Structure 1
């Protein structure tokens, strides 16, 4: 195991369990209420779930690349942009309860990806040899 693989695996878990799964499986009314949405939001919520599932698959490809000893630059840049972007958008636009939980989580993940990008050799180094 190495640092970049750990960051990617944590991000995959969070994405599947807290984003893709709920957006694909929970009742639309429950999701809309939790997010403070009104109107017919089923399609956009389900599409977001599919997009998050696709992102988790992309992150998994980064784990595979790291296992081959190749730093997954593309996936790391996607991680910085998607998590950093989510941090900014949620900080500016989200309600207080969402901000309190989501902003720090996305910020830490984005910073973890950025740290790996700054030190790619260290991020690929095995924890135990």
Structure 2
């Protein structure tokens, strides 16, 4: 369960640091100066930050279980859908040039998130799903 716990720890830390904190707490001007696109209202951006934080609460329950040598499948399935889908969308929009006019900081976060969500998805599959099927 140590490897699964590491996947959760990485997921929670990366999500809080690169998505929750900026989307919830950064002033609009700081987001703009980092290269985030301008919107009339950032209400949905802020709500997205809170949704990511809610996911982290779910991942934390999985982390606690893994640290105790147990596995609960709910956070694993949620993580596979969330990170796998997020990776696919981020990769698609990055490859189609959607970000090319955005600031370099935001582009860096976007491409880093492609890699992070891919690694998280693979880690959750390997240490969450595959480990279960190997024991049966």
Structure 1 counterpart of 2:50: 50
Q: SS at the partner of 2:38?
A: coil
Q: Distance in 2 between matches of 1:121 and 1:3?
A: 16
How many residues are matched?
Answer: 122
Deviation at 1:32, TM superposition (A): 4.7
**TM-score in terms of structure 2 length:** 0.78
Of 76, 89, 108, the match for 2:119: 108
1:120 maps to 2:132:
yes
Structure 2 counterpart of 1:90: 90
User: Comparing 105-114 with 30-39, which one deviates more in the overlay?
Assistant: 30-39
Segments of 4+ moved more than 4 angstroms: 32-36
Alignment of 1:70-85 (within 5 A): 70-85=70-85
Q: Distance in 2 between matches of 1:18 and 1:59?
A: 16
C-alpha RMSD of matched pairs (Å): 2.2
**TM-score in terms of structure 1 length:** 0.81
Q: SS at the partner of 1:7?
A: helix
Deviations 1:61-94 (A, max 9, x none): 1112223433121101111111110111011123
- Any stretches of 5+ residues in structure 1 without a counterpart? 123-129
Q: Distance in 2 between matches of 1:21 and 1:57?
A: 14
Q: Distance in 2 between matches of 1:42 and 1:85?
A: 23
Deviation at 1:39, TM superposition (A): 2.4
Q: Distance in 1 between matches of 2:35 and 2:62?
A: 30
Q: SS at the partner of 1:69?
A: coil
